[in-house]
Structure formats: C-alpha cells, structure tokens
C-alpha cells in the first residue's frame, strides 16, 4: 500500500496538472456564471411577463436537468446541429450554462432578503437602471449571498469531475489515468478525494473571510 502511494507520488505531476485544470475550469465557470447570473437576476424579479417567464423557464429547466446529460448534449449532440465544441469548450459551456441558472436564483433569493432602504436611497440620489444595480444593489448582495455562493462553488468543483467522461484532463481523469496504468486504484483515487477536500476547505475558508469582511460593513 505504501508502495502504491509512492507510485502516485511519482506521478504527482499529472495529478497536480489535473488539480490545476479542475481549479481553472471551476474558477472560470464560477466567475462567468456569477456574471451572467447577475444579468439574469433582474429578469427573475421583473414585473413584465415575458422576461420573467423566459428567465424562470431557463432557471427551472437547468435545475431539473442532470448536469452530465447537459454535457453530453453539448459535446455529442450539438455537432449534429453544426456546433462542434471540444472537450474544454463543452465542459466550460455546460458549467457556465448550468450554473448561470443557479447563480441567478441565489442572487434573487439574496436580493429579496435585502432591506429596501439602501436601494431606495440610491434612487433618491439619482441612481437608476444598470448603474443602480451595479454600484448600489449588487455589492451587498454578493456579500450577503457569500455562503450560498460558496456552496455553489463547491458544487461546481464537484461537477467538474463529471467532465472526465468527455476526456477532459481534470483531477479525476488524472487519477483514473494513473490508476489504469499502474494498478493503484485506492492510492490514486483516495489522493484525489483528499485533494478535492482540500479545494473545498479552501472555498469554505474564503467564504469565512468574506463573511468577516461583510461583518465589518454591516
């Protein structure tokens, strides 16, 4: 068993590259999803029927869809419609599309929990539309929604593992490759498990730090 871990250690380059790729794709999709989600959130609270209905359908649709099926539809299915994305493109597209819906919903929930006064004050001072949203509404929103966004970040990290099925060289794929070449399944995958755990602890630490920042500004 110790020998097995020695093998994994000798392949640490591959493992670290996988970890790096996991981190990259998770962070990039999270940032993009948060950005797109923030754009979508006002539609979820819109008083006009059409934008509300469209946004609602998109969000609920993504929530009811298994993530992996979305990946397969994009990677295997879209080429037949003329849109061919490689595994990184498909993975990123799937993660961003899927989590835009979740981020929009999270921000909507946080928005509704906010007190209306600061926004009203913003309006009274002449802020409106996009400016109002970006400078007055959004910052406290993101701070308040921190823990929930953190949870979603963890979810994104875990969903990225599904991309091993389309041969994207993230962490699980690296562990799988080490396993299949050296026959060290336990050592390889347990190491991956602890690396995922480490990533999640990092996210939770980040959320706590954000929480402390939020406390000061409350």
Q: Which residue, 112 or 117, is less far from another protein as judged by CB?
A: 112
Q: Which of 24, 54, 190, 210 binds another protein (CB under 8 A)?
A: 190
Give the shortest CB-41-to-another protein separation in angstroms. Answer: 19
DSSP state of 106: H
> Integer distance in angstroms from the first to the last C-alpha of the chain?
52
- List helix spans (H) across 113-165: 117-124, 129-131, 138-144, 146-160
Q: Does 78 bind another protein (CB under 8 A)?
A: yes
Contact (Cβ atoms closer than 8 angstroms) between residue 160 and residue 170: yes
> Tokens standing for 69?
């099926």
Q: Which residue, 137 or 170, is less far from another protein as judged by CB?
A: 170
> Which listed range, 40-48, 107-115, 125-133, 180-188, lies at the site for another protein (CB under 8 A)?
180-188
Compute the radius of gyration of the chain from its Cα atoms: 20
Give the shortest CB-111-to-another protein separation in angstroms. Answer: 18
Which of 6, 8, 33, 2 is closest to 195 using CA atoms? Answer: 8
DSSP state of 65: S
Number of residues that bind another protein (CB under 8 A): 44
Q: Which of 9, 53, 125, 186 binds another protein (CB under 8 A)?
A: 186
List interacting residues with another protein (CB under 8 A).
60-61, 63-69, 72-73, 76-81, 154, 157-162, 164-165, 171-172, 175-176, 179, 183, 185-186, 189-190, 192-194, 196-197, 199-201
């Amino acid at each position: 068993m110790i020998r097995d871990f020695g093998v994994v250690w000798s392949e640490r380059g591959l493992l670290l590259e996988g970890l790096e790729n996991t981190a990259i794709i998770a962070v990039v999709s999270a940032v993009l999803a948060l950005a797109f989600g923030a754009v979508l959130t006002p539609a979820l609270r819109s008083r006009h029927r059409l934008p509300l209905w469209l946004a609602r359908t998109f969000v609920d649709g993504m929530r009811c869809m298994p993530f992996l099926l979305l990946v397969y539809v994009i990677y295997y299915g879209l080429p037949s419609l003329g849109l061919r994305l490689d595994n990184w493109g498909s993975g990123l597209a799937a993660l961003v599309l899927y989590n835009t819906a979740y981020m929009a919903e999270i921000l909507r929930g946080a928005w509704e929990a906010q007190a209306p006064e600061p926004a009203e004050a913003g309006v009274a001072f002449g802020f409106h539309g996009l400016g109002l949203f970006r400078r007055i509404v959004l910052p406290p929103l993101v701070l308040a929604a921190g823990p929930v966004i953190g949870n979603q970040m963890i979810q994104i990290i875990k969903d990225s593992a599904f991309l091993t099925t389309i041969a994207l060289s993230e962490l699980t794929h690296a562990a799988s490759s080490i396993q299949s070449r050296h026959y060290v399944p336990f050592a390889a995958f347990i190491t991956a498990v602890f690396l995922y755990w480490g990533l999640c602890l990092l996210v939770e630490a980040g959320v706590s730090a954000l929480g402390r920042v939020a406390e000061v500004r409350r």
